[in-house]
Amino acid sequence: MNYDNMLLFVKEHLTEAGAIKPIKINQCFRDRYEHTVRVFKWMERIIDDFPECNKEIAFTSAIFHDVGYCNGQENHAENGVQCFLEYCKGKVFSKKFIDAVCENIANHSNKELLYNEETSQELILLLEADLLDEEGVLGIAWDLLAAGVENVKSYAAGLEALQKHSSHILDQNYMVTPKAKEYWERKKKLVCDFIKEYESDLFLEKEEETQYEFKEIF
């Protein structure tokens, strides 16, 4: 399987469509192709927890999951299926392989499928890899860069933005596979520690130290 060729196809299509960067000004620092590469690499990190999965389906799904943005902001998952089918023309892929990748692309934004017993291992891995990117250190960077773009004018306002957008990672663990759960917990701890240090450096400590309850939903 030529993953380099697939990545090049995705990069060229996003670039030609002017879709590498999100249209939201407060996300101008993001890059969809770089996100795709990182999701692929997250897949490499966690895939061994499902040794019986079809790795070619999993990795191909990771590469094409966001290519649909080349056809606009709306329905990017459905558009991504069409882009993948375009790539498949002239390739010797089995119908089973194509159908499975299309199914994963179409459903990669439906995070509730993580908890469905009928969800394929390949889709679970894609959902996890997609969620793991831009959390932890990159999540902090996202929140603070976005705050800067929005012309936040104080350290305290930056802290408020970080606290607001960090609740989803601090309150739960979405992951299913053991490695993904471990990575998520590491990210949660990092964010929690960063916020505590931020509060401390601004001398905003409360009488009782802020406690974040780490709870898993599985």
Would you state the pLDDT for residue 72?
A: 75
Q: How far apart are CA 8 and CA 10, in angstroms?
A: 5
Would you state the pLDDT for residue 172?
A: 83
Q: How far apart are CA 32 and CA 110, in angstroms?
A: 19
Domain boundaries, the chain: 3-130, 137-201
**Amino acid identity, position 17:** A
Asked whether the CA dihedral 72, 164, 182, 175 is positive or negative, the reply is: negative
Neighbours of 168 (CB within 10 A): 11
- Kind and range of the H or E element at 17? none
Helix, strand, or coil (residue 7): helix
Q: Give percent above pLDDT 90 in the chain.
A: 79
pLDDT higher than 60, residue 208: no
Compute CA 143 distance to the chain's CA centroid, rounded to the nearest angstrom: 15
Q: Which two tokens stand for residue 80?
A: 């991504």
Which of residues 24 and 196 earns the better pLDDT score? 196
Would you state the pLDDT for residue 212?
A: 53
pLDDT higher than 90, residue 213: no
Correct CATH for 3-130 of 1.10.3210.10, 3.40.50.10860, 3.65.10.10, 3.30.2130.10: 1.10.3210.10
pLDDT higher than 70, residue 211: no
Phi and psi torsions of 87, nearest 5°: -65, -35
Any idea how long the chain is?
218
Compute CA 136 distance to the chain's CA centroid, rounded to the nearest angstrom: 11
Query: How much is the pTM?
Result: 0.90
If you ran DSSP here, which 8-state letter would residue 52 be given?
Answer: T
Going by pLDDT thresholds of 50, 70 and 90, the confidence category of residue 34 is very high
Q: Yes or no: say if 77 and 21 are a contact pair by the CB < 8 Å rule.
A: no
Would you state the pLDDT for residue 217?
A: 43
Q: Which whole number is the average pLDDT over 105-110?
A: 95
Residue the block writes with tokens 């997609």: 130
Q: How far apart are CA 205 and CA 202, in angstroms?
A: 8
Phi and psi torsions of 143, nearest 5°: -60, -40
Q: Give percent above pLDDT 70 in the chain.
A: 94
